[in-house]
Amino acid sequence: MHPKELVTSTFRQRFGKEPAFVALAPGRVNILGEHVDFNDGFVLPAAIDRATYIAFAPANSERSTLVAADFGEQASFTLASIPTKTNADGAPLAEWAYYPAGVAWALTEADLEVRAIDAVFASNVPQGSGLSSSASIEMAFAVAWQTLSAVEGSAVEGSAVDGAGWVLPPMQRALLGQKAENKYVGVNCGIMDQFASACGVSDKLLLLDCRSLEWQTLPVPEDVAIVIADTSVRRKLTDGEYNKRRQACEDAVKILSQHLPNVRALRDVSVDDFNRLSNQLPGVVEKRARHVVEEIERSRRAIPLLEQGKIREFGQIMNECHTSLRDLYEVSIPELNVMVEIAQSLPGCHGARLTGAGFGGCTANLVEKSVAEAFAAELARQYEAKTGLKPEIYICKASDGARLV
């Protein structure tokens, strides 16, 4: 069943009423600019046409009741129980409930009203494969609570309701979602995931400057499809590896800034300066930082190519990105490399690379639309023959961001 129908029918069954609203928030795929967000670089994601859907209405008490329809589980919290990560009855919150509860917490911290909600949510964004199922849940609930803030009349006695409510621009909702994930859930993510889910634009890539948070759209040529290939390898406990890489980038900044006083982040180091000073850096630090410096330079080169519709040349830069993630940043695994190598050998494929954090998850491919189905079938066939694993392949469309439907 499509998640939109699932949330609507589950809502009726569970709450014995019609949902007042349905909202969705998409997952995202990053096309270029990997592992550069915390180095103040540029990222180039798109929201995709797979999303978390939420059916909701104001609750009749102070208690919010949330149903995760994909899990058949329920959580129930109040504004008082949220800070202790517990349900209203004192039992610990399920981990999935941290994402919506975290959004409620971040909204409250920002002095925005959080109405008690009856909600059912479900998603066709695969979990933990680098397409940001977590951010899509956060952005769906942010839209839901914004919507409820403006609903006339309150179920909670005595609360003042003027029907005006609060409205946040999508980027502000994204920042609150990131705060929820950083401070409440406890995951040290950058802004890209929530940004793409909140700010997505149909048929466009999104170019975000992670330092200034300025962003613009770039066109995806009409005859090009975004194909996502899930290796079906789930990333394991890799926090330690990410932290080591972040640390290496910080170490590089510390050393390079002794020679280049204006360097605050690797964003501020040109490739020429890096080459000149790279012998000052310990071997592993040099490799990690080189990936970041060159990846930021690649994204600068890529922007005019997209503007001019030069998709072949752009795809070549995606291929270079994969090589760098594999050999310099070292976040690839054999299954990702196999998926990328097969893709790059198939007709109609402009570019292929691992996407997201690495160590499992998905590859992103730009493919001629007219051969996308054949590409997907052949990629799946060859990948399974080589690895014995059954991949999922999604032919996607760049889509609008979180909204009521």
The residues assigned a catalytic role are 193
123-131, 303-311, 342-350, 379-387 -> range binding ligand ADP (CB under 6 A): 123-131
> Residue 296 Cβ, how far from ligand ADP at the closest point, in Å?
23
The reply to whether 195 sits near ligand ADP by the rule CB under 6 A is no
The reply to whether 315 sits near ligand ADP by the rule CB under 6 A is no
Sheet containing strand 42-43, strands side by side: 42-43, 204-209, 215-219
- The residue within the footprint of ligand ADP, chosen from 11, 53, 77, 96 (CB under 6 A), is 96
Neighbouring residues of 84: CB distance < 8 A, sequence distance ≥ 6: none
- The residue within the footprint of ligand ADP, chosen from 68, 224, 281, 289 (CB under 6 A), is 68
Q: What is the phi-psi region of residue 264: left when phi exceeds 0, alpha when psi lies from -120 to 50, beta otherwise?
A: alpha
34-42, 120-128, 322-330, 376-384 -> range binding ligand ADP (CB under 6 A): 120-128
40-48, 112-120, 126-134, 289-297 -> range binding Mg ion (CB under 5 A): 126-134
HEC string for the chain: CCHHHHHHHHHHHHHCCCCCEEEEEEEEEECCCCCCHHHCCEECEEEEEEEEEEEEEECCCCCEEEEECCCCEEEEECCCCHHHCECCCCCECCHHHHHHHHHHHHHHHCCCCCCCEEEEEEECCCCCCCCCHHHHHHHHHHHHHHHHHCCCCCCCCCCCCCCCCCCCCHHHHHHHHHHHHHHHHCCCCCCHHHHHHHHCCCCEEEEEECCCCCEEEEECCCCEEEEEEECCCCCCCCHHHHHHHHHHHHHHHHHHHHHCCCCCCHHHCCHHHHHHHHHHCCHHHHHHHHHHHHHHHHHHHHHHHHHCCCHHHHHHHHHHHHHHHHHCCCCCCHHHHHHHHHHHHCCCEEEEEECCCCCCCEEEEEEEHHHHHHHHHHHHHHHHHHHCCCCEEEEECCCCCCEEC
The reply to whether 93 sits near ligand ADP by the rule CB under 6 A is no
Number of residues counted as binding ligand ADP (CB under 6 A) = 16
* CB of 112 or CB of 131, closer to ligand ADP: 131
81-89, 133-141, 232-240, 380-388 -> range binding Mg ion (CB under 5 A): 133-141
The reply to whether 71 sits near ligand ADP by the rule CB under 6 A is yes
> Residue 50 Cβ, how far from ligand ADP at the closest point, in Å?
11
Phi, psi for residue 157 in degrees, rounded to 5: -60, 140
> Residue 132 Cβ, how far from Mg ion at the closest point, in Å?
5
* CB of 8 or CB of 382, closer to ligand ADP: 8
The reply to whether 134 sits near Mg ion by the rule CB under 5 A is yes
The reply to whether 355 sits near Mg ion by the rule CB under 5 A is no
The reply to whether 194 sits near Mg ion by the rule CB under 5 A is no
* CB of 135 or CB of 248, closer to Mg ion: 135
11-19, 32-40, 65-73, 262-270 -> range binding ligand ADP (CB under 6 A): 65-73
Asked if 224 and 369 touch (Cβ cutoff 8 Å), the reply is yes
The reply to whether 178 sits near ligand ADP by the rule CB under 6 A is no
> Residue 123 Cβ, how far from ligand ADP at the closest point, in Å?
4
The reply to whether 399 sits near Mg ion by the rule CB under 5 A is no
Site string for ligand ADP, 378-397 (x = CB under 6 A): --------------------
> Residue 13 Cβ, how far from ligand ADP at the closest point, in Å?
17
The reply to whether 123 sits near ligand ADP by the rule CB under 6 A is yes
> Residue 374 Cβ, how far from Mg ion at the closest point, in Å?
32
The reply to whether 363 sits near ligand ADP by the rule CB under 6 A is no
Residues of this chain that bind ligand ADP (CB under 6 A) = 68, 70-71, 95-96, 99, 122-123, 127-128, 130-134, 137
Residues of this chain that bind Mg ion (CB under 5 A) = 134
